[in-house]
Structure 1
Amino acid sequence: MKLLPLAAALCLAPLAAQAQTAAISTPLQVLGHEMGEDRYVPSYSDLVRYWRTLEGQSDRIRLIDIGATTEGRRQIVAVVSSPENLARLDQYRTISERLGRAEGIDEAGARTLAADGKAVVWVDGGLHASEVEAQTALIQQVYDLVSSDDPEARRIRDNVITLFAPDNPDGQQLVADWYMRIKDPAKREADFQSLPKLYHPYVGHDNNRDFYMAEMAETQNITRILYREWRPQIILNQHQTGPAGTVLFMPPFRDPFNYHYEPLVISSLEELGATLESRLIAENKGGGTTRAGAHYDTWYNGNLRTSAYFHNAVGILIEIIGMPVPIEIPFVPERQIAKNDQPLPIRPQMWAMKQSVAYSLSINRALLGYAAANREKLLFNIWRMGANGIEKGQRDSWTITPDRLAAAHAASAATGAKPVPTRTTGTSAIASTFYDTVLLDPAARDARAYVIPAEQHDFPTAVRFLNALIKLGVQVERATAPFTANGKTWPAGSYVVRSGQAYRAHVLDMFEPQKYPNNFQYPGGPPIPPADASGYTPAFQMGVTFDRVLDRLDAPTAPVAGAITVDPGRIVGTGKAGWLVSHATNNAFILTNRLSKAGVKLAWLRDPVAVAGAPAAAGALWVPYSARAAAIMTRAVTELGLSAEAMEQAPTTARIALARPRVAMIDMYGGLHPTGWLRWILDSYEFPYTIVYPQRLDAGRLRRDFDVLIVPDSAIPNAGSGGEGGMFRGRFTIKQPDPASIPAQYRSWLGAITAERTLPALKAFTAEGGAILGMGSSTSGLIAGLGLTVTDPLAVMRDGKLQSLPRTEFYVPGALLTATADTAQPLAYGLTPKVDLFYDSSPVFKLTGATGTAPVRFVGTSLLHSGWAWHQEKLDGAAAVLDLPVGRGRVFLFGPEIALRAQTQGAFKLLFNAIYLGAAQAPARQ
């Protein structure tokens, strides 16, 4: 082949680029709309159609399929880079993955790989599908990077591999179809407050709270790319909407940040945030705010962008305004003062979506330009952070938390020494000796490893926890032979999670309590709420038993490859009368549901009995022998990790006869997030249920069709429906549209729970033998509406009125508190005597009548296990759960969360028991 002279080749290169640019279709040419056009919302199918068009026109883009969504769509990611980089994509992915994992690479090797690699950046949109600016901008950002041939675009493509990702395809399709169903654009809605259901099929807005458990299909797809296969160095997570009086919020964030992070995460975040802000200001794009300009922080692990920090990646959150119709930037006087958090204020004005899309393009260019200019640094730094995690986990190390500082001050005060004030507000100096004796106390060292034995109260749930770690890129090992640690001998089959790995911050955060600082506006003033939960330790929420190993662990282990399958259980004995199954495991309810569906007559034994060598406990499941039951039992023991005992004769102890429950669960037009999570939980454990809406409740005669009615948190409107402390537990305000304006299939969903019509129907339901499960904020409506003899132990009389305690006197914003369970009571069967409950300014109860029991209470003054609790002692003696006879039926009240975000798995049995007890206690069905 004859080669052109270099000069001629250079002359032809711009012509070739111009020819390619001319061949690339705009969104308008393919979709018939400009991105940011008034009263237009692109669907997911639009996005995929346009990206497939680009893929057919350009060698700068390649589409990859990262998995199925909840509704079965394929989740597509657009990979954009230079043709040369795309031709070597696997090589660059491997370099990025190896540096992110950091294992087996020294500094020289890391520098070589960084020099050879390309920066990898994740850019997403549409996680919250009604935030349509983000997914609209995503389409335009891809077009810009594929089609542009300016020097900046070429540098970006040459040095960066960008993964453009729609996070929630099902929701994006729902929102666009709903909005665009009205053919006349002038009649389309200004917002999305009339959506009939959640914009994630199960969890709606809470899909951004799933990023340490990864329960949803889309979260699993995303985390596999982010933390296992690609490990990008930067993650841009685009959201809406900006704080009032601004255009957008961008990093840096306010304090506190989670003390487990590698410091380079925070310094890199500050550096990149400043780059984005400077770009917008240089282009005279004002209205940006940072830090205290909004409530966002970097504490919680469950968000998409915050999970990045626990994995050594720079997570960027953008919250920008923009709706399909122009909106007003209001006049907020405080936003008009230039300061560090908002250097270039913007005047009040009408604002169109296309203006926000222009901002998003600038942000994308600034971020990718930074990645291109700092390619080697980003790649090396993610290795450095991972290598630091490996090194720290292999030696004595300490994490300094607020409680350790308090201990140092207390130790100093005990000597009679007075702290010396410093020039920095709120700080003081004490003797340096307390650094070594208190902060570096050998007993306060970080764990080098965590051992999770197979002998657990609920081993299948412990396996779910281990699989959550694996999904988020943590290496889990299993012992191949017995070993010794902490003075104990651990059997083969025990699981080991070492902290000496790249994602050490995530490991510690999953096992250790979060020690959230006391954070007040001023001494004695109101608290500053966290952006989300203050304490959430998954190991605690799931009731996992583990040991911290502080010294070097020499154990014969092998890495676990892929998801863990629960070990098969066993059937002890050869009796033919039937089987006993322990109540201890959540999976026992899958078995119960399968057996009851098959018509097998089941019972719980009231007296404690030992099952297959396990300790004696009340509530064992009795399964009489039949061929049908035997087939189900054999499969369940293997598949669900259950152990059973085959009995020679049927037990003669007292029983609770079970029946297949007919369950109704309340939802509302627009969707309740707690209902969505409950649907996920009940589906996962194979419970039957029917969703009911206010119109069905108001129609009455509920007992004819149902035994049990679940009233989720926020279902009954009241002052606590939306949650407090920054938590999002209920739902956005949903408009009740004109029935004629919506498809007929949704009209029966309209309505609201009212004191006039709905609560009398619920009272009639219990009078006729039905059982109601009231949860969270809905309990106050049930107490009033059903006339229950229950009061609020936290309420006080002030100024002649019964009032809740102010936050200055009592405040628990999303934390784990340890409650005491009476496991002899049927509602608490299968629980451990101490159980962690998620408390988020939750209701608690005091019985004032003679009937009813409190199977779970808060006992003592030191209840906090993880998070922040101000004056937790005020909960001492309060009931967390009540079991009340009402009419011929029952009412179960659950104040703290027992089913939040499918994470409180150690408390699931309260929900499951209530469902079966509600059906068991009901009289003959009418």
Structure 2
Amino acid sequence: MRASRLAVSLVAAASLATPTAVATSASAAPPSSPSCDPTRTTPAYRGKVPSPKQVLGVELGDREVTAAESDRYLDAVAASSERVVSGTLATTAQGRPLKYAIVGRPELLTRAGLARVREDAAKLRDPKTPAKLAEQIAKRGVPILWVSGNVHGNEPSGTDAALKVLRDLGDRTDCAARTILDNALVIVLPTQNPDGRTLNTRQNAYGFDMNRDWFARTQPEVDGKLTMLNQYPPALYIDAHEMGGTSFFFPPNADPIYHETPEQAIGWINDIYGAAMAAEFTRQGIDYFNRDTYDLFYQGYGDTVPISGFLAAGMTYEKGDESPYPERVKEHYLTQWVSLSQAALNRHRILTEWHQMAVDAYQQGVAGKLEPNQIYNPPNQIDRQVPDRLVRTYFLRADDPAKGPEVRTIVRRLQRMGVRVDRLVRPLTVPDFKPYGRAETRTTLPAGTYSISMAQGQKHWIQAMLNEDSYTPFPYFYDVTAWSMPLLQNVAGGSSGALLRPATEPVPPLPSETPGHAGNAPKIGILQLSATSSGARQSTGWLRSRLDREWKLPYTLLSPADVASGKLAGVRVLVVPNGPAEAADKALGDAGRTALTTFVQDGGRYVGWQGGAQLAARLGITTDTFADPTSDVPGSLFRVRVDGRSPLARGVGDTAWQFYSYDPVIRQSDPAKVAVGYPDASSADWFVSGYEQGSAELGGTAAVTDEPVGKGRTVLFGGEPNFRAFSDGTAKLLYNALLGPDPKAGVSGLATARPRAVANTPLQVESPIRVSVKVGDADRTVAILRSVGAHYVERRSGDVVHYVIDNPGGLPADHHPFAGRLPSLIRQAGITPVAVVLP
């Protein structure tokens, strides 16, 4: 299930085991008869593959298999069937393997056979492959179909279902199994998150929701998976989840759908797979829904990235976790088997359209045409259309040495997804250059600038990654609305729609970079504000991942109880990520509060953000004031100004891009203490990438403050500087806050801690649900909220009423008792919301 909005690239080498050679023929078998029903054909087993009970002592679905048992059964199937080879594509933080199996006709599983499948896929994805050759491949070739489960560790049933699919394809002889085997190559990845499965947590061991990490690849599990996906690019990617309730979700998806989503892929999703599933579930009397809750917008999901990055049908399947476990496994197996069967039966259409999508993307890139926003589920209406400005080329400037690692991170990520990146060998005058967040201007770009042409088969992926804005079409948000890589990395660049003839040379594949920290470092402590809050676990986990894997800085992890018992001794820099400030304040008690204030006054450095910043206000170690926002910003990027005199500014530049999502508004009366601030909303610097309503209230407020307290120092960020460990631009501000020098003398601060400022605290809510409507719709909205039993706080600003619904368990929307239903209820009531934001 999808969930919380809150989730320099670490590249882990993928260990791809060499498949075992098992046969020699490479001829394609003819398609099986479409009269063979995929689900009503009686399974016939050869008996070569041991049953799950023979290997594990239980049948699949009797109970959840463990990660180790999943690996054991996968290995047993691979060892006993000539139709299966297996390997390991990554290793987790806790040392567990991510095992996969490749299933197909024996002749496809030889080295030569697999090489032929990969070669065919590469040619079909190449828009310059001649049409006749592409048609020949479509006639004889096979699509690559992926079945994956358990990206969320506490959503286990997809794993057991995938293992059942593996067993059936490895051993069955009936026509339903032969249809798939004769017409496809299937890759089964039973668990994408073995650490989370073992820990029974949604996230991995570092607290990452890996269904948000697909484009950044910060986690080895995701990086290894994408490495293999690029070797075996999918035409179908199944991602099996669980949600609340007892129903089943399969596509068609809800709006919004990202504009660079090819129509052929939508056709596959809705008309091939969705239609077949609806018919089968209806025939069997199984409850299901679609066109609701689950969108295709944020370009970091396990369905959106396969679409925009591989031109596949990305399919999210969700089964209600209140159903008995055998039922969950059975229904996931049904969707997986029906999907594979439909792909096999439509093999020629899929391969033909797969190539055509690449050709269409290339032609759009040549013309500089961006796809428009569309509504797929009336009566939704488009609030914001994609501009009609032409975009033929993106540019990334490389003339600032301080930004070199960030620029190369983007280039490498693009290259690893099959994007061609060139470099200017001579200066280039661009008549209509549009810098990110600025107006068009005539510009001469220096030699060395990276040039990314949109005239590629990967045009959709280029736009998804290098966009200036996501152009959110209407106000429903399952996740964040901004993710542009240049903005997240805070690098200079822009786009042009002109027909240019630059002198360029191709950029060879760039190596990974993990520089770490050079020199001595102070002793760092991390105060995790709560062990149970999802926000605290994630924010702390994102920080730990960056410190361990990129900056390579040692630290001590502390709890409020640890601080109260004196374990802060020796720490020089205390980092306090997001979390519930009020609960942490209570957990600290008098002893912990005294320890923290004494720590700062005696020379310690307190660096906090979000809940960690609010805790500083409660402790009286800041003169900042905090207020609840009255705007609706579900997760967007704002340009902020950086004070070049601040030690936080080193290597950052005059501006940066701050990720902001309903964070408290910080006001600081002393401009000298504002290291980073939001420009006035009327200034030329004001720019927002993503959705916003009423965000002008941030104009002129502080994004980061830095002030002396006694002999020490307090550095506070309003928003998350290390969002999902991929906002590298503001993470550099954080790096400087941890390791940089103190500000120069001249800024007056607090001689001693102020009295406790408990009144100076915004609303304390965990992973809230937010609904904002116009005043005229307030009564109907209240009626809906009361009908579902929502406990809410009402805030009014101008002609908008904001309802903030507490979610004390931190439940994601589709495990929440009513959150997932709110958009439909609001729509059915005839209300056009300002924003509906689900956790």
Same fold, TM-score > 0.5, yes or no = yes
Indicate the residue corresponding to 1:543 in structure 2: 490
Q: CA shift at 1:692, angstroms?
A: 1.7
Q: CA shift at 1:220, angstroms?
A: 1.6
Could you say what secondary structure the match of 1:320 adopts? strand
Q: CA shift at 1:271, angstroms?
A: 1.5
Q: CA shift at 1:316, angstroms?
A: 0.3
2:203 is the alignment partner of 1:202:
no
CA distance in 1, matches of 2:303, 2:43: 37
TM-score by length of 2: 0.75
2:511 is the alignment partner of 1:677:
no
**2:561 alignment partner, one of 689, 695, 701:** 695
Question: Closer, same or farther in 2 for the Cα pair 1:770/1:276, shift >3 Å?
Answer: farther
Native 8 Å contact 2:600 2:712 kept in 1: yes
Indicate the residue corresponding to 1:28 in structure 2: 53
**2:297 alignment partner, one of 291, 299, 305:** 299
Q: CA shift at 1:456, angstroms?
A: 5.3
2:185 is the alignment partner of 1:164:
no
**2:342 alignment partner, one of 370, 374, 387:** 370
Indicate the residue corresponding to 1:471 in structure 2: 416
**2:164 alignment partner, one of 129, 133, 140:** 140
Indicate the residue corresponding to 2:522 in structure 1: 661
Q: CA shift at 1:813, angstroms?
A: 0.7
Structure 1, residues 767-804: CA drift from partner, whole Å, max 9, x if none? 32222111123322331233643323x55xxxxxxxx5
Native 8 Å contact 2:658 2:721 kept in 1: yes
Q: CA shift at 1:754, angstroms?
A: 4.1
CA distance in 2, matches of 1:23, 1:424: 53
Q: CA shift at 1:93, angstroms?
A: 2.3
Correspondence list, 1:477-488, <5 A: 477-479=422-424, 485-486=430-431
Could you say what secondary structure the match of 2:237 adopts? strand
CA distance in 1, matches of 2:56, 2:691: 50
CA distance in 2, matches of 1:48, 1:482: 54
Indicate the residue corresponding to 1:181 in structure 2: none
Indicate the residue corresponding to 1:830 in structure 2: 651
| Structure 2 residue runs without a partner (length 5+) | 1-41, 432-441, 746-839
Could you say what secondary structure the match of 2:284 adopts? coil
| Structure 1 residue runs without a partner (length 5+) | 1-16, 176-191, 328-350, 406-422, 429-434, 521-527, 567-585, 597-659, 722-750, 796-803
Q: CA shift at 1:48, angstroms?
A: 2.1
**1:389 alignment partner, one of 357, 361, 365:** 361
Correspondence list, 1:150-549, <5 A: 150-171=174-195, 174-175=198-199, 192=200, 199-204=203-208, 206-226=209-229, 228-241=230-243, 243-244=244-245, 246-292=246-292, 294=293, 296-311=294-309, 312-322=311-321, 327=322, 351-400=323-372, 440=388, 444-455=389-400, 457-479=402-424, 485-486=430-431, 492-517=447-472, 519-520=474-475, 528=476, 530-549=477-496
Native 8 Å contact 1:813 1:840 kept in 2: yes
Native 8 Å contact 2:85 2:103 kept in 1: yes
CA distance in 2, matches of 1:388, 1:425: 27
CA distance in 2, matches of 1:358, 1:439: 46
Could you say what secondary structure the match of 2:78 adopts? helix
Q: CA shift at 1:870, angstroms?
A: 0.4
CA distance in 2, matches of 1:383, 1:61: 27
Native 8 Å contact 1:889 1:921 kept in 2: no
- Please tell me the residue identity of whatever aligns with 2:271: E
Question: Closer, same or farther in 2 for the Cα pair 1:427/1:100, shift >3 Å?
Answer: closer
**2:663 alignment partner, one of 822, 842, 850:** 842
Indicate the residue corresponding to 1:783 in structure 2: 617
**2:691 alignment partner, one of 842, 863, 868:** 868
CA distance in 2, matches of 1:852, 1:33: 67
State which drifts further: 459-468 or 144-153.
144-153
CA distance in 2, matches of 1:397, 1:166: 39
Larger radius of gyration, structure 1 or 2? 1
Q: CA shift at 1:480, angstroms?
A: 5.1
**1:552 alignment partner, one of 499, 512, 525:** 499
Correspondence list, 1:43-54, <5 A: 43-54=66-77
Question: Closer, same or farther in 2 for the Cα pair 1:283/1:425, shift >3 Å?
Answer: closer
2:671 is the alignment partner of 1:854:
no
Question: Closer, same or farther in 2 for the Cα pair 1:867/1:427, shift >3 Å?
Answer: closer
Native 8 Å contact 1:476 1:560 kept in 2: yes
Indicate the residue corresponding to 2:708 in structure 1: 885
2:674 is the alignment partner of 1:820:
no
- Please tell me the residue identity of whatever aligns with 2:463: L
Correspondence list, 1:742-757, <5 A: 753-757=587-591
CA distance in 1, matches of 2:612, 2:109: 54
Structure 1, residues 223-273: CA drift from partner, whole Å, max 9, x if none? 1222x21211010011122x43x4222111111111122222222221234
Structure 1, residues 385-428: CA drift from partner, whole Å, max 9, x if none? 111111111224244469xx9xxxxxxxxxxxxxxxxx988699
Indicate the residue corresponding to 1:86 in structure 2: 109
Question: Closer, same or farther in 2 for the Cα pair 1:426/1:248, shift >3 Å?
Answer: closer
Q: CA shift at 1:482, angstroms?
A: 5.7
CA distance in 2, matches of 1:814, 1:317: 22
Percent identity of the aligned residues? 24
Structure 1, residues 64-121: CA drift from partner, whole Å, max 9, x if none? 3334444444432111122233346324422442245324213222111111111211
CA distance in 1, matches of 2:97, 2:693: 46
Question: Closer, same or farther in 2 for the Cα pair 1:495/1:673, shift >3 Å?
Answer: same
State which drifts further: 850-859 or 890-899.
850-859
Could you say what secondary structure the match of 1:835 adopts? strand
- Please tell me the residue identity of whatever aligns with 2:183: N
2:81 is the alignment partner of 1:109:
no
CA distance in 2, matches of 1:756, 1:248: 50
CA distance in 2, matches of 1:687, 1:513: 33
Q: Give me the CA root mean square deviation.
A: 3.2
CA distance in 2, matches of 1:919, 1:858: 23
Question: Closer, same or farther in 2 for the Cα pair 1:835/1:876, shift >3 Å?
Answer: same
CA distance in 1, matches of 2:723, 2:379: 40
Could you say what secondary structure the match of 2:423 adopts? strand
Indicate the residue corresponding to 1:58 in structure 2: 81
Indicate the residue corresponding to 1:896 in structure 2: 719
Question: Closer, same or farther in 2 for the Cα pair 1:897/1:237, shift >3 Å?
Answer: same
Structure 1, residues 156-205: CA drift from partner, whole Å, max 9, x if none? 11111110014535415633xxxxxxxxxxxxxxxx4xx6xx8523243x
Native 8 Å contact 2:366 2:392 kept in 1: no
CA distance in 1, matches of 2:718, 2:414: 29
CA distance in 1, matches of 2:430, 2:621: 56
TM-score by length of 1: 0.69
Question: Closer, same or farther in 2 for the Cα pair 1:535/1:490, shift >3 Å?
Answer: closer
- Please tell me the residue identity of whatever aligns with 1:272: I
CA distance in 2, matches of 1:756, 1:148: 67
Indicate the residue corresponding to 1:764 in structure 2: 598
CA distance in 1, matches of 2:86, 2:570: 49
Could you say what secondary structure the match of 1:827 adopts? helix
CA distance in 1, matches of 2:387, 2:471: 17
Native 8 Å contact 2:390 2:496 kept in 1: no
Could you say what secondary structure the match of 2:102 adopts? strand
Q: CA shift at 1:851, angstroms?
A: 9.6
